[in-house]
Amino acid sequence: MTFPSWSEALTHIFSLAIAYALALPVGWDREKDERSAGIRTFPLVAIASCGFVLVGIAILGRTSPA
């Protein structure tokens, strides 16, 4: 079993931060309009989705065996 390097961990944290930053304006706009999903929901879903994809890439690799 190999452990990930610090550079790989920082790359993943940077990717999660980008997902948060891109989802925040959408959540802010929905919060202004008083819709049900707003500033807490959208960034949370974006970070979870990004994390899921990062785990999938780490396990399966970048190429698809289709």
For the chain, 66 residues long, give each residue's pLDDT as a single digit of tens. 677 788 888 999 999 999 999 999 999 998 888 888 888 899 999 999 999 999 998 888 877 666
DSSP class per residue in 24-63 = HHHHHHHHHTT-SS-TTHHHHHHHHHHHHHHHHHHHH-SS
Return the pLDDT at 66. Answer: 62
What residue segments make up the domains of the chain, in order of their start? 6-59
Question: Is the full-model pTM beyond 0.85?
Answer: no
- pLDDT value at residue 1: 60
